[in-house]
Amino acid sequence: MRLYLLIHYDGTPFSGSQAQYGISCRTVQGELWQALDALNLKSHVKRLHFASRTDQGVHAQGQVAELDVSDDFLGRVPDLSLALNAKLPPEIAVTEVLEAGLPDERGYYPSVQFDTVAKWYRYKWLLAPTRRPHQARNATLIHQPFNVARMQDAAQNFVGEHTFSYFKSPGSSVTDDRCLLHYASFSQQFDEEITFDLVGNRFLYKMVRNMVAYLHGLGDNRSQASTSLLSAQDVLGQCDRPASLRTAPSQGLTLMAIHYEAPCLQFNDVRVKTLSHALKKEFSNVENLFCQNR
């Protein structure tokens, strides 16, 4: 039997989402295993797997996990999300639980990893002269404004199917560097919050944070950084990421939602529905769609 969990977490205290076996560190997956163990359910779970791997300090409002469990698993706990949340630390919450139903004719259930259609990431900056304690954990603080219009123009070059080797981390072992980006757009609210929304079918290791760092460099008004960088058209033809290109801080990045084709994994969360609606519209006339669901 397979179950699917929709999970929110503040990634600040965790060394990423995936358990790192043989290494003593806190992870979101590790905390879920501990919660299942505290409920005497761990022995009834045969597998726990996440749809997307997030790095240390990265957050999620739409992470999805799949659990392969024994047939009598749900009979042991009346409300799985309520039970897990009672045992999980305050930085993690299971917001929805779905049952997979019957497997297909091949005996397969939908896979949270391989049946993904699109993922939505959001990067957030906080433009302020001093730190804002209540926002410090989910935004990157900057003190000087940057040219958002220039960054927006550059980002539009990345929409479509391209090879994104320039933004891949050197630590990645993936050889297929082609990704299809459906949407890439900046927005600014209250003169102090600047966000970058990015939707694509897949992302390379640290691709979003490397792209954010590059775009931020283009919009930097304080130095010659914006003129020394390659143009957005030119980077798509580059095979290697230069060592001088920094990676944006992790606290500004959030995995907002993951989209799956109907009828599998249709969560009720507003972010999931927003992404589904946008994909059906093919992002026509939805320039402010993501900004309306903060």
Give tens-digit pLDDT for 235-249: 887 877 777 678 999
- Percent of the chain at pLDDT > 90 equals 60
- Give the residue among 152, 120, 145 at the shortest CA–CA distance from 255: 120
* % pLDDT > 70, the chain: 93
Domains 2-99 and 117-265 share a fold: yes
Whose structure tokens read 């694509």?
200
The CATH number corresponding to 117-265 among 3.40.718.10, 3.30.70.660, 3.40.1350.10, 3.40.640.10 equals: 3.30.70.660
Tell whether the model's pLDDT for residue 47 goes beyond 50: yes
Q: Please write down the HEC assignment for all residues of 198-224.
A: EEECCCCCCHHHHHHHHHHHHCECCCC
Q: Is 90 exceeded by the pLDDT of residue 162? A: yes
> Is the pTM value of this prediction over 0.75?
yes
Compare 136 and 289 and report the one with higher pLDDT: 136
Tell me what pLDDT residue 281 has. Answer: 75
269-286 tens-digit pLDDT? 999 998 988 888 776 655
Q: Model confidence at 131, in pLDDT bands (50, 70, 90)?
A: confident
Is residue 3 pLDDT above 60, yes or no? yes
Give the pLDDT of residue 294.
43
Residue 54 has pLDDT above 60, yes or no: yes
pLDDT per residue as tens digits for the range 73-84: 988 988 999 999
CATH for 2-99 is 3.30.70.580
Res. 12: pLDDT tops 80: yes
Q: Hey, how many other C-beta atoms are within 10 angstroms of the C-beta on 210?
A: 21
Task: Name residues whose C-beta falls within 8 Å of residue 254's C-beta, 6 or more positions apart in sequence.
Answer: 58, 59, 60, 61, 121, 122, 123, 124, 138
Mean pLDDT score, 50-55: 94
For residues 184-193, average pLDDT = 86
| DSSP reduced 3-state for 66 | strand
pLDDT at residue 286 in the model: 54
Distances (CA, A) of 120 to 38, 63, 164, 196: 33, 10, 17, 11
| pLDDT band per the 50, 70, 90 thresholds, residue 57 | very high
Mean pLDDT is lowest, of 18-27, 116-125, 145-154, for 18-27
The pLDDT of residue 151 is above 90: yes
Cα distance from N-terminal residue to C-terminal residue, the chain: 34
- List the chain domain ranges: 2-99, 117-265
Catalytic residues, by residue number, are 55
